Chains A and B, each alone.
Chain A
């Protein structure tokens, strides 16, 4: 079943920027990135039946379509070693977590940390820095492994 033209326009306007930024951060070739963005929206337009409103928000579903499209791109190229490290290939953790955590709850979690702990979490899990790199940036000692 296809979305109506009006719904397609609405989805495209609302999500194109987010899809493009996510893909551009993981696909170095701009032309390939553009192609993948188109691919994501083709999937979204063609398969709204796959989206179950009782299980997830539209935004989270489009996120999973986008992420899986990126993983598929690397799989087709048979260059799994190039897949960015922050993309987990195991979707089971992702889906459970993202569906259970609303964006507001997600933002609240780091707020509860002290400033230094929050910096370390963000630098490691968002920026992808190693603990050693974080220590150099923050000019503090690397914590001993536990």
Chain B
């Protein structure tokens, strides 16, 4: 089973099936703090990722 899943997901990295890509993207956003294109609030003007503390300081001003 382990080998089967590795094979299938390796194939996905090539085939890029849209339905599975959507599921993967959901997981990445949920678990890996990967920002979607719809959530720019955590990105600074320079393009870096704002830490929660700096974000709160900005809100406090």
Chain A residues at the B interface, C-beta cutoff of 8 Å: 18-19, 21-22, 25, 59-60, 63, 66-67, 86-88, 90, 93-94, 97-98, 101, 103-104, 106-111, 118-119, 121-123, 125-127, 134, 137-138
Contacts and interface: CB of A to CB of B under 8 A. Distances in A.
Contacts of B18: 107
B14 A126 contact: no
Interface in B4-61: 4-20, 23-24, 27-28, 30-32
Contact of B8 (A25, A90, A97, A127): A97
A19 B14 CA distance: 7
B40 to A, nearest CB: 22
Contact of A123 (B10, B15, B16, B27): B27
Contacts of B32: 123, 127, 137
Contact of A110 (B6, B10, B23, B31): B23
B3 A18 contact: no
B7 A118 contact: no
B31 to A, nearest CB: 5
Contacts of A86: 6, 9-10
Contacts of B31: 119, 123, 134, 137-138
Interface of B: 3-20, 23-24, 27-28, 30-32
Describe A's contact surface by its main secondary structure: helix
A22 B14 contact: yes
Given A93-B4, A94-B7, A97-B8, A103 B14 contact: no
Given A121-B5, A122-B23, A88 B15 contact: no
28 contacts: A18-B16, A22-B13, A59-B15, A63-B14, A93-B4, A97-B7, A98-B7, A98-B11, A104-B17, A106-B8, A106-B12, A106-B15, A106-B17, A107-B23, A110-B20, A110-B23, A111-B19, A118-B27, A119-B27, A119-B30, A122-B9, A122-B23, A122-B27, A123-B32, A126-B9, A126-B12, A127-B32, A137-B31
